[in-house]
Protein backbone atom coordinates (compact mmCIF):
# COMPACT_ATOMS: atom_id res chain seq x y z
CA UNK A 1 0.00 0.00 0.00
CA UNK A 2 1.31 3.44 -0.92
CA UNK A 3 2.42 5.62 1.95
CA UNK A 4 1.48 9.27 1.61
CA UNK A 5 2.12 12.25 3.83
CA UNK A 6 -0.69 13.26 6.16
CA UNK A 7 -1.27 16.20 8.47
CA UNK A 8 -0.25 15.69 12.10
CA UNK A 9 -2.81 14.12 14.41
CA UNK A 10 -4.65 16.48 16.79
CA UNK A 11 -3.69 16.43 20.44
CA UNK A 12 -5.51 14.20 22.89
CA UNK A 13 -9.04 15.45 23.50
CA UNK A 14 -9.08 17.59 20.34
CA UNK A 15 -10.14 16.91 16.79
CA UNK A 16 -13.93 16.86 16.79
CA UNK A 17 -17.17 16.71 18.71
CA UNK A 18 -17.49 14.21 21.51
CA UNK A 19 -20.13 12.21 19.66
CA UNK A 20 -17.89 11.69 16.64
CA UNK A 21 -16.08 8.34 16.41
CA UNK A 22 -12.59 8.01 17.81
CA UNK A 23 -11.91 5.12 15.48
CA UNK A 24 -13.66 4.05 12.30
CA UNK A 25 -12.96 0.91 10.29
CA UNK A 26 -14.31 1.24 6.74
CA UNK A 27 -14.68 -1.67 4.28
CA UNK A 28 -11.46 -3.30 5.48
CA UNK A 29 -10.07 -6.28 3.54
CA UNK A 30 -7.07 -8.36 4.64
CA UNK A 31 -5.55 -11.23 2.64
CA UNK A 32 -2.74 -13.68 3.33
CA UNK A 33 -0.68 -15.28 0.58
CA UNK A 34 -0.10 -18.99 1.27
CA UNK A 35 1.14 -21.96 -0.74
CA UNK A 36 -2.45 -23.16 -1.05
CA UNK A 37 -3.73 -19.81 -2.31
CA UNK A 38 -4.97 -16.47 -0.99
CA UNK A 39 -6.71 -16.59 2.38
CA UNK A 40 -9.35 -13.87 2.56
CA UNK A 41 -9.30 -13.35 6.30
CA UNK A 42 -11.21 -10.05 6.45
CA UNK A 43 -13.84 -9.21 3.84
CA UNK A 44 -15.22 -5.70 4.05
CA UNK A 45 -15.40 -5.12 7.81
CA UNK A 46 -16.79 -1.79 9.01
CA UNK A 47 -17.43 -0.52 12.54
CA UNK A 48 -16.95 2.59 14.67
CA UNK A 49 -15.92 3.32 18.26
CA UNK A 50 -16.76 6.48 20.20
CA UNK A 51 -15.13 7.96 23.32
CA UNK A 52 -16.05 6.11 26.49
CA UNK A 53 -17.80 3.36 24.54
CA UNK A 54 -17.26 -0.40 24.77
CA UNK A 55 -17.61 -2.23 21.47
CA UNK A 56 -17.60 -6.03 21.70
CA UNK A 57 -16.48 -7.98 18.62
CA UNK A 58 -17.84 -11.54 18.75
CA UNK A 59 -17.18 -14.60 16.64
CA UNK A 60 -15.58 -18.03 16.60
CA UNK A 61 -11.94 -18.69 15.76
CA UNK A 62 -11.11 -17.72 12.19
CA UNK A 63 -13.86 -15.13 11.90
CA UNK A 64 -11.37 -12.27 11.43
CA UNK A 65 -11.71 -10.56 14.82
CA UNK A 66 -8.04 -10.53 15.76
CA UNK A 67 -6.77 -9.90 12.21
CA UNK A 68 -8.91 -6.76 12.07
CA UNK A 69 -7.41 -5.61 15.37
CA UNK A 70 -3.87 -6.29 14.12
CA UNK A 71 -4.60 -4.24 11.00
CA UNK A 72 -5.77 -1.37 13.21
CA UNK A 73 -2.57 -1.60 15.25
CA UNK A 74 -0.37 -1.91 12.15
CA UNK A 75 1.31 -5.10 13.35
CA UNK A 76 0.47 -7.46 10.49
CA UNK A 77 3.49 -9.02 8.79
CA UNK A 78 3.47 -7.76 5.20
CA UNK A 79 4.06 -10.09 3.42
CA UNK A 80 2.33 -12.51 3.76
CA UNK A 81 -0.47 -10.13 4.78
CA UNK A 82 -1.86 -7.57 2.37
CA UNK A 83 -4.53 -4.90 2.80
CA UNK A 84 -5.95 -4.42 -0.72
CA UNK A 85 -8.83 -2.18 0.33
CA UNK A 86 -10.23 -0.24 3.23
CA UNK A 87 -9.54 2.55 5.69
CA UNK A 88 -8.83 2.78 9.40
CA UNK A 89 -9.49 6.32 10.58
CA UNK A 90 -8.30 7.52 13.98
CA UNK A 91 -9.71 10.99 14.69
CA UNK A 92 -10.15 11.43 10.93
CA UNK A 93 -6.64 10.35 9.89
CA UNK A 94 -6.29 7.15 7.83
CA UNK A 95 -3.75 5.06 9.74
CA UNK A 96 -3.17 2.75 6.76
CA UNK A 97 -1.60 5.61 4.82
CA UNK A 98 0.79 6.76 7.51
CA UNK A 99 4.50 5.98 7.39
CA UNK A 100 5.79 3.35 9.81
CA UNK A 101 7.48 6.06 11.91
CA UNK A 102 4.15 7.86 12.28
CA UNK A 103 2.36 4.62 13.19
CA UNK A 104 4.98 3.94 15.85
CA UNK A 105 4.18 7.26 17.51
CA UNK A 106 0.49 6.27 17.73
CA UNK A 107 0.95 2.62 18.68
CA UNK A 108 1.05 2.25 22.45
CA UNK A 109 0.60 5.95 23.14
CA UNK A 110 -2.80 6.63 21.56
CA UNK A 111 -4.01 3.18 20.52
CA UNK A 112 -2.92 0.23 22.63
CA UNK A 113 -3.62 -3.49 22.72
CA UNK A 114 -3.83 -6.28 25.29
CA UNK A 115 -2.86 -9.55 23.66
CA UNK A 116 -4.59 -12.87 24.15
CA UNK A 117 -1.78 -14.92 25.70
CA UNK A 118 0.00 -12.85 28.32
CA UNK A 119 2.75 -15.43 28.88
CA UNK A 120 3.66 -15.40 25.18
CA UNK A 121 3.30 -11.63 24.85
CA UNK A 122 5.62 -10.88 27.78
CA UNK A 123 9.36 -11.36 27.29
CA UNK A 124 10.46 -14.21 29.60
CA UNK A 125 14.05 -12.93 30.06
CA UNK A 126 13.16 -9.43 31.31
CA UNK A 127 11.55 -8.49 34.60
CA UNK A 128 8.00 -7.18 34.52
CA UNK A 129 9.21 -3.85 35.92
CA UNK A 130 11.65 -3.34 33.07
CA UNK A 131 8.99 -4.23 30.50
CA UNK A 132 6.45 -1.78 31.92
CA UNK A 133 9.09 0.91 32.45
CA UNK A 134 10.36 0.56 28.89
CA UNK A 135 7.13 2.23 27.69
CA UNK A 136 8.11 5.43 29.52
CA UNK A 137 11.77 5.29 28.53
CA UNK A 138 11.06 4.80 24.81
CA UNK A 139 8.12 7.18 24.42
CA UNK A 140 8.91 9.83 27.03
CA UNK A 141 12.68 9.58 27.49
CA UNK A 142 12.55 9.35 31.27
CA UNK A 143 15.37 7.93 33.39
CA UNK A 144 15.46 4.29 34.49
CA UNK A 145 14.70 5.27 38.09
CA UNK A 146 11.68 7.33 37.03
CA UNK A 147 10.49 4.49 34.77
CA UNK A 148 10.65 2.08 37.69
CA UNK A 149 8.73 4.48 39.91
CA UNK A 150 5.95 4.76 37.35
CA UNK A 151 5.96 0.99 36.83
CA UNK A 152 5.30 0.48 40.54
CA UNK A 153 2.43 3.00 40.38
CA UNK A 154 0.89 1.11 37.47
CA UNK A 155 1.28 -2.26 39.17
CA UNK A 156 -0.47 -0.81 42.22
CA UNK A 157 -3.20 0.59 39.98
CA UNK A 158 -3.96 -2.82 38.47
CA UNK A 159 -3.93 -4.32 41.97
CA UNK A 160 -0.83 -6.48 41.94
CA UNK A 161 -0.09 -7.16 45.64
CA UNK A 162 3.35 -6.07 46.85
CA UNK A 163 4.09 -4.21 43.62
CA UNK A 164 7.43 -2.75 44.74
CA UNK A 165 8.68 -6.13 45.93
CA UNK A 166 7.55 -7.85 42.72
CA UNK A 167 8.99 -5.24 40.34
CA UNK A 168 12.03 -7.41 39.60
CA UNK A 169 10.16 -10.70 39.22
CA UNK A 170 9.86 -12.45 35.85
CA UNK A 171 6.60 -13.27 34.00
CA UNK A 172 6.71 -16.99 34.88
CA UNK A 173 6.65 -16.10 38.57
CA UNK A 174 3.12 -14.68 38.27
CA UNK A 175 -0.23 -16.46 37.96
CA UNK A 176 -2.26 -16.19 34.76
CA UNK A 177 -4.51 -13.50 36.24
CA UNK A 178 -1.55 -11.48 37.51
CA UNK A 179 0.19 -11.71 34.12
CA UNK A 180 -2.95 -10.36 32.50
CA UNK A 181 -2.92 -7.44 34.95
CA UNK A 182 0.69 -6.75 33.93
CA UNK A 183 -0.43 -6.69 30.29
CA UNK A 184 -3.16 -4.21 31.20
CA UNK A 185 -0.61 -2.05 33.05
CA UNK A 186 1.60 -1.95 29.95
CA UNK A 187 -1.36 -1.19 27.68
CA UNK A 188 -2.61 1.76 29.75
CA UNK A 189 0.83 3.13 30.69
CA UNK A 190 0.72 6.04 28.25
CA UNK A 191 -2.98 6.84 28.61
CA UNK A 192 -4.29 5.60 25.25
CA UNK A 193 -7.54 6.91 23.78
CA UNK A 194 -8.37 3.50 22.31
CA UNK A 195 -7.68 0.16 24.00
CA UNK A 196 -8.11 -3.12 22.12
CA UNK A 197 -8.45 -6.16 24.40
CA UNK A 198 -8.04 -9.40 22.45
CA UNK A 199 -9.61 -12.25 24.45
CA UNK A 200 -8.35 -10.77 27.74
CA UNK A 201 -9.98 -13.46 29.91
CA UNK A 202 -9.13 -16.60 27.93
CA UNK A 203 -8.00 -19.55 30.11
CA UNK A 204 -8.84 -17.72 33.33
CA UNK A 205 -11.36 -19.02 35.86
CA UNK A 206 -14.67 -17.19 36.16
CA UNK A 207 -13.71 -15.31 39.33
CA UNK A 208 -10.52 -13.93 37.76
CA UNK A 209 -12.42 -13.17 34.54
CA UNK A 210 -14.82 -10.98 36.50
CA UNK A 211 -11.93 -9.20 38.22
CA UNK A 212 -10.18 -8.47 34.91
CA UNK A 213 -13.36 -7.15 33.31
CA UNK A 214 -14.07 -4.94 36.32
CA UNK A 215 -10.50 -3.62 36.15
CA UNK A 216 -10.91 -2.71 32.46
CA UNK A 217 -14.23 -1.01 33.22
CA UNK A 218 -12.64 0.97 36.06
CA UNK A 219 -9.76 2.15 33.86
CA UNK A 220 -12.25 3.14 31.18
CA UNK A 221 -14.39 5.14 33.62
CA UNK A 222 -11.31 7.01 34.88
CA UNK A 223 -9.89 7.82 31.44
CA UNK A 224 -12.88 7.99 29.09
CA UNK A 225 -11.07 5.81 26.56
CA UNK A 226 -12.87 3.72 23.94
CA UNK A 227 -12.60 -0.04 24.44
CA UNK A 228 -12.78 -2.74 21.75
CA UNK A 229 -13.33 -6.09 23.44
CA UNK A 230 -12.63 -9.09 21.20
CA UNK A 231 -14.10 -12.35 22.44
CA UNK A 232 -16.00 -15.52 21.59
CA UNK A 233 -17.71 -15.58 24.99
CA UNK A 234 -21.19 -14.04 25.07
CA UNK A 235 -21.20 -14.20 28.85
CA UNK A 236 -18.20 -11.89 29.14
CA UNK A 237 -19.77 -9.00 27.23
CA UNK A 238 -23.37 -9.04 28.49
CA UNK A 239 -22.82 -6.54 31.30
CA UNK A 240 -19.98 -4.45 29.90
CA UNK A 241 -20.60 -3.77 26.19
CA UNK A 242 -22.57 -0.89 24.69
CA UNK A 243 -22.61 -2.31 21.17
CA UNK A 244 -21.86 -5.70 19.66
CA UNK A 245 -20.41 -6.56 16.26
CA UNK A 246 -20.80 -10.23 15.28
CA UNK A 247 -18.30 -11.57 12.73
CA UNK A 248 -18.42 -14.71 10.62
CA UNK A 249 -16.26 -15.72 7.67
CA UNK A 250 -14.29 -12.49 7.79
CA UNK A 251 -17.23 -10.09 7.66
CA UNK A 252 -19.73 -8.40 9.94
CA UNK A 253 -23.00 -10.35 9.93
CA UNK A 254 -24.79 -8.35 12.61
CA UNK A 255 -24.30 -5.17 14.61
CA UNK A 256 -26.59 -3.76 17.25
CA UNK A 257 -26.81 -2.31 20.75
CA UNK A 258 -26.12 -5.04 23.30
CA UNK A 259 -29.71 -5.22 24.56
CA UNK A 260 -31.10 -5.79 21.07
CA UNK A 261 -28.67 -8.64 20.42
CA UNK A 262 -29.59 -10.47 23.61
CA UNK A 263 -33.33 -9.81 23.42
CA UNK A 264 -33.83 -10.68 19.76
CA UNK A 265 -30.93 -11.36 17.37
CA UNK A 266 -31.44 -10.59 13.68
CA UNK A 267 -28.97 -13.06 12.16
CA UNK A 268 -29.15 -16.89 12.29
CA UNK A 269 -25.52 -17.15 13.41
CA UNK A 270 -26.08 -14.79 16.34
CA UNK A 271 -29.24 -16.69 17.29
CA UNK A 272 -27.27 -19.94 17.19
CA UNK A 273 -24.55 -18.51 19.42
CA UNK A 274 -27.11 -17.40 22.00
CA UNK A 275 -28.96 -20.72 21.95
CA UNK A 276 -25.70 -22.59 22.55
CA UNK A 277 -25.01 -20.77 25.84
CA UNK A 278 -25.79 -22.93 28.92
CA UNK A 279 -28.78 -21.58 30.86
CA UNK A 280 -30.21 -22.43 34.27
CA UNK A 281 -33.75 -22.73 32.88
CA UNK A 282 -32.60 -25.45 30.45
CA UNK A 283 -31.06 -27.74 33.04
CA UNK A 284 -31.11 -31.37 31.91
CA UNK A 285 -31.70 -30.51 28.26
CA UNK A 286 -29.16 -31.19 25.53
CA UNK A 287 -26.98 -28.17 24.77
CA UNK A 288 -27.63 -26.69 21.33
CA UNK A 289 -24.74 -26.73 18.85
CA UNK A 290 -24.51 -25.04 15.46
CA UNK A 291 -24.23 -27.79 12.85
CA UNK A 292 -21.48 -27.88 10.24
CA UNK A 293 -18.08 -26.24 9.96
CA UNK A 294 -16.83 -22.66 9.44
CA UNK A 295 -16.20 -21.60 5.82
CA UNK A 296 -12.98 -22.26 3.93
CA UNK A 297 -11.33 -18.83 3.70
CA UNK A 298 -9.37 -20.06 0.65
CA UNK A 299 -12.61 -20.68 -1.24
CA UNK A 300 -15.32 -18.33 -0.05
CA UNK A 301 -18.78 -18.96 -1.53
CA UNK A 302 -20.48 -16.32 -3.72
CA UNK A 303 -23.44 -16.04 -1.36
CA UNK A 304 -23.75 -16.13 2.41
CA UNK A 305 -20.82 -17.89 4.11
CA UNK A 306 -23.17 -19.15 6.84
CA UNK A 307 -25.69 -20.66 4.39
CA UNK A 308 -24.42 -24.29 4.65
CA UNK A 309 -25.10 -24.22 8.42
CA UNK A 310 -28.25 -22.09 8.40
CA UNK A 311 -31.78 -23.34 9.23
CA UNK A 312 -33.25 -20.33 7.38
CA UNK A 313 -31.37 -21.06 4.14
CA UNK A 314 -33.11 -20.54 0.79
CA UNK A 315 -31.71 -21.00 -2.73
CA UNK A 316 -30.74 -17.35 -3.13
CA UNK A 317 -28.66 -17.46 0.05
CA UNK A 318 -26.16 -19.73 -1.69
CA UNK A 319 -25.85 -17.73 -4.91
CA UNK A 320 -26.51 -14.06 -4.11
CA UNK A 321 -24.18 -11.72 -2.17
CA UNK A 322 -25.80 -10.54 1.04
CA UNK A 323 -25.59 -6.85 1.98
CA UNK A 324 -25.75 -5.66 5.57
CA UNK A 325 -29.43 -4.73 5.72
CA UNK A 326 -30.21 -1.71 7.86
CA UNK A 327 -32.76 -2.45 10.59
CA UNK A 328 -34.04 0.75 12.12
CA UNK A 329 -31.49 3.37 13.10
CA UNK A 330 -29.09 1.35 15.24
CA UNK A 331 -28.63 -2.15 13.87
CA UNK A 332 -27.91 -4.21 10.77
CA UNK A 333 -28.02 -7.85 9.66
CA UNK A 334 -26.36 -9.60 6.71
CA UNK A 335 -29.30 -11.95 6.15
CA UNK A 336 -31.91 -11.89 3.35
CA UNK A 337 -34.41 -13.28 5.86
CA UNK A 338 -33.68 -11.17 8.90
CA UNK A 339 -37.40 -10.55 9.49
CA UNK A 340 -37.99 -14.28 9.91
CA UNK A 341 -35.01 -14.51 12.25
CA UNK A 342 -36.42 -11.70 14.39
CA UNK A 343 -39.74 -13.55 14.50
CA UNK A 344 -37.88 -16.58 15.85
CA UNK A 345 -39.20 -19.10 13.35
CA UNK A 346 -37.06 -21.35 11.19
CA UNK A 347 -38.08 -20.01 7.76
pLDDT digits (tens, 9 = 90+) for 94-122: 999 999 999 988 988 899 999 877 777 89
> Does 16 fall in a domain?
no
Helix pair 176-188, 128-140: axis angle to 10 deg:
10
Give the chain's residues under pLDDT 70: 1-19, 203, 280-282, 284, 345-347
Domain holding 44, by residue range, is 23-60+69-97+234-343
Question: Which residues does 27 contact at the CB level (< 8 Å), separation at least 6?
Answer: 44, 45, 46, 85, 86, 87
**pTM beyond 0.85, yes or no:** yes
Q: CATH number, domain at 73?
A: 3.40.50.300
Sheet strands (E) in 77-220: 81-90, 93-94, 111-114, 194-198
Bridge partner residues of 82 (DSSP): 31
- What's the pLDDT score for residue 128? 94
As a whole number of angstroms, the distance between CA 29 and CA 168 comes to 42
> Does 247 fall in a domain?
yes
> Does 204 fall in a domain?
no
pLDDT digits (tens, 9 = 90+) for 255-272: 999 999 999 999 999 999
> Does 278 fall in a domain?
yes
- What's the pLDDT score for residue 280? 66
> Does 113 fall in a domain?
no
Number of domains in the chain: 1
- What's the pLDDT score for residue 339? 93
Write the CA distances from 79 to 28, 31, 33, 73, 100, integer angstroms: 17, 10, 8, 16, 15
> Does 227 fall in a domain?
no
The number of CA neighbours under 13 Å toward the Cβ of 277 is: 15
- What's the pLDDT score for residue 15? 37
Amino acid sequence: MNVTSTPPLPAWGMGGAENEPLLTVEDLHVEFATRQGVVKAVNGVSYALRPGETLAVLGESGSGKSVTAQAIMGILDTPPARIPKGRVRFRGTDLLRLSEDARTQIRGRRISMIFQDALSALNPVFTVGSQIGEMFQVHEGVSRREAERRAVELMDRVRIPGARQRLHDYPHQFSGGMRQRIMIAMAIALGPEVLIADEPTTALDVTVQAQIMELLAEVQRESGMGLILITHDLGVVADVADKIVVMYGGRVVENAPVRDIYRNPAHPYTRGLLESVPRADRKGRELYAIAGMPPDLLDMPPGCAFAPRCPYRQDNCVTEPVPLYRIGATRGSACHYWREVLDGGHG
